[in-house]
Amino acid sequence: MLMPASPRPNHTGQLAGRVMTADGAAVRDAAVMLTGESPPHKDIAALTDTHGRFQFDDLVPGTYTVLVNAEGYSSQTKTVTVFPGQTAKLTFVLTTEELEP
């Protein structure tokens, strides 16, 4: 007799987010760099889509540093904790970069 396979527990998590301007406009093609704070310190990069969204799947649970860079805007860094079976969410609101005289 065959037994149905038991669903495997989800041991990874996700991070999803959005990059926008102060007036709520999406920032397209912003570089998003994810660095794990626990060994191994693996860097993962992504670009935002046309709606300013990004997503990282199959992340080992733990704390990550997220750095966002976009041309013409000041970079921004946040820290986030990813839990197994859950999606952590972040929103970055970028300000225009001040030009030096």
Per-residue model confidence (pLDDT) at position 100: 62
> What are the extents of the domains in the chain?
13-93
The whole-angstrom separation of Cα 89 and Cα 82 is 9
The whole-angstrom separation of Cα 92 and Cα 96 is 13
- Six token digits for residue 70: 């976009």
* pLDDT tens column, 59-76: 999 999 999 999 999 999
**Level-2 CATH architecture, domain 13-93:** Sandwich (2.60)
Cross-strand partners of 67: 33, 77
Single pTM value for the model: 0.84
Confidence of residue 15 (pLDDT cuts 50, 70, 90): very high
